[in-house]
Amino acid sequence: MGSLVQFIFRYLNTTENDLNYWGLDYPPLTAYHSLLCAHVAKLINPEWVELHTSRGYESPAHKLFMRATVLVADILIYIPAVVVYCLYLVEGSTKKKVTTIFCILLYPGLTLIDYGHFQYNGVSLGLALWGVVGLGLGWDMLGSLAFTLALNYKQMELYHSLPFFCYLLGKCVKQGLSGRGLLLLVKVAVTVLVTFALCWLPFLSDSHQVLQVVHRLFPVARGLFEDKVANAWCSLNILIKIKTLMSTETQLSLSFVLTLLAVLPSSIKLFMKPTLWQFKLALVNSSLAFFLFSYQVHEKSILLPALPVCLLLSDLPLMAIWFLQVSTFSMLPLLLKDGLLLPYVVTSLAFLYFSLFLLSGLQRATDEQLRLQPYHALFSSILPCLPRFNLGRITKWKFVVSVVLMACLSLGIVVLEPPAQLPDLFPVLVSLISCSHFLGFLLYFNLLQLSEAPARRSSKKSN
């Protein structure tokens, strides 16, 4: 405990925890995880964890150790979550469940970022997935506990928090606000508060420390976006230089309002109808809306919508595979900077090939299977004279064209030199194309959630 107290002082922006040298800017649980890894590292080789002298230290054994910690964390948290989810919450034969596990684990984006770029997204996403599993199986308190832990690991999980909130609140209301519903509400609230308190315990003694941590977690000084991100602001910036035109406060309010507008329909629908299917779609919609319109979004945040889309692989294989591939593609400039071209190409090809083969993505693409009825309704209301298209076939062709386009652009970004007056041409193209895809997906998933759910789903899912 003594070393823990010493450790927490390093949150303060002193020379020991210099923000300029990758200072700690994640919530407390990440800090505790790092402490645990540091203790193990010290057993193996104390040189690895010296405070200042180990900056930039990179021997092969040390690299192996750090990568191994990611693997251990995944084996303990993320992979079991995926397995349990598929075994209990996916309908179908054992073969279908196992192939779904395989395809989810094959998703290139998470593997490349966690193991190539090096991060611990598997922990926060795994904990969030445990939250989904808990809620899906009816264990609301455990689900809330898991999600709160996820929140305390990475603040980006706030993208997922609105659906969790609306789902639980909607469930409480459905069960009657006086009686069982109220009891559930109280239980969940207590779980969340206690978990927060336990995680932040070392810092609660001093309000100054709490503020400092919060200041680290939400760096509003950094601006609307950084680098080239596939979200609406970055794309808009190409036409209208909003970053320079508007002041920081205006930018903040604009992004806040737009995000809220984008998230509102989905959250309200979930509140009115708290089922697992609605919950999964709401997770997608909410995190995608946050990604597109929120403040200071990083490219890696696309992993947050990607996780719930992975959960939709068994229901909507083609659309899920398409989204997941675009999400990996959107991170291409970052991956190239890390020298991950070969793994990117191989894992993307492997993912596309095996998911389409095992989940019969291209075969299960009729209008009904892709839930495209709302589009027919939309078209017939706007242009009643047009004949009824085979939207399923059109979607398949759009998918093929899109994949070819992404492949060509990936090839181009490696082989071709950008013209001198447009040095950022390729990253901009990548983010523009990805952004347009994401906007299309936002529309699709919102329509899907807002239209009536098909009767195909078995009644035991509604809880």
Partner 1 sequence: MAAPMSELSGWFPALAIGVTFLKCLLINTYHSTDFEVHRNWLAITHSLPVSQWYFEDTSEWTLDYPPFFAWFEYCLSHVAKYFDKEMLVVQNLSYASPATILFQRLSVMFVDLVFFYAARECCKTVGDNKAKEIIGKPSFALAALLVWNFGLLIVDHIHFQYNGFLFGILLLSIARHCQSRHLEGALLFAILLNLKHIFLYIAPAYGIFLLRSFCFTSNNSDGSIKWRSLSVVRLAALGTIVLSVFALSFGPFIAMGQLPQVVSRLFPFKRGLCHAYWAPNLWALYNVADKALSILGVKLKVLDVDTLPKASMTGGLVQEFQHSVLPSVTPLATLICTVVSITPALLHLWFRPSGARGFVRCIVICAMGSFMFGWHVHEKAILMAILPLSLLAVESKEDARTFLLLTTTGHYSLLPLLFTAAELPIKVLLMVLYTLFTFTSLKTLLSKEGSLLSTVEGLYLAGLVPLEVLCEWVYPLTTWQGSMPFIPLLVTSTYCALGVTYSFIRLYLSLLRGQGVKHKDKSQ
At closest approach, how far in Å is the CB of 221 from partner 1? 39
Residues in the chain: 463
Q: Which residues pair with 225 in a beta bridge?
A: 297
| Position 15, amino acid | T
What residue ranges bind partner 1 (CB under 8 A)? 44, 60-61, 63-64, 67-68, 71, 95, 342-343, 345-347, 349-350, 353-354, 357
Task: Please identify, using beta-carbon distances, which residue of 112 and 433 lies nearer to partner 1.
Answer: 112
At closest approach, how far in Å is the CB of 347 from partner 1? 8
Task: Please identify, using beta-carbon distances, which residue of 218 and 354 lies nearer to partner 1.
Answer: 354
| Per-residue exposure over 285-300, b if at least 16 CB sit within 10 Å of its own CB, e if not | bbbbbbbbbbbbbbbb
Task: Please identify, using beta-carbon distances, which residue of 49 and 166 lies nearer to partner 1.
Answer: 49
Q: Which residues contact 77 (CB under 8 A, 6 or more apart)?
A: 122, 123, 126, 127, 130
Exposed/middle/buried for residue 388 (C-beta within 10 Å: 0-12, 13-18, 19+): exposed
Task: Please identify, using beta-carbon distances, which residue of 26 and 351 lies nearer to partner 1.
Answer: 351
At closest approach, how far in Å is the CB of 61 from partner 1? 5
At closest approach, how far in Å is the CB of 156 from partner 1? 28
At closest approach, how far in Å is the CB of 53 from partner 1? 22
| Per-residue exposure over 168-203, b if at least 16 CB sit within 10 Å of its own CB, e if not | bbbbbbbeeeeeebeebbeebeebbeebbeebbebb
For residues 456 and 463, give the distance between their C-alpha atoms in angstroms, rounded to a whole number. 16
At closest approach, how far in Å is the CB of 60 from partner 1? 5
At closest approach, how far in Å is the CB of 350 from partner 1? 4
Q: Which of 238, 430, 415 is nearest to 332 (CA)?
A: 430
Task: Please identify, using beta-carbon distances, which residue of 118 and 357 lies nearer to partner 1.
Answer: 357
Task: Please identify, using beta-carbon distances, which residue of 118 and 139 lies nearer to partner 1.
Answer: 118
Helix (H, G, I), strand (E, B) or coil at 270: helix
At closest approach, how far in Å is the CB of 266 from partner 1? 37
At closest approach, how far in Å is the CB of 257 from partner 1? 45
At closest approach, how far in Å is the CB of 410 from partner 1? 15
Handedness of CA 425, 341, 431, 233 (dihedral sign): negative
Q: Which of 100, 152, 158 is nearest to 123 (CA)?
A: 152
* Cα distance from N-terminal residue to C-terminal residue, the chain: 43
158 in Cβ contact with 258 (< 8 Å): no
Task: Please identify, using beta-carbon distances, which residue of 110 and 234 lies nearer to partner 1.
Answer: 110
In angstroms, the Cα distances linking 63 to 50, 125, 130, 334 are 16, 23, 29, 20
Q: Which residues contact 58 (CB under 8 A, 6 or more apart)?
A: none
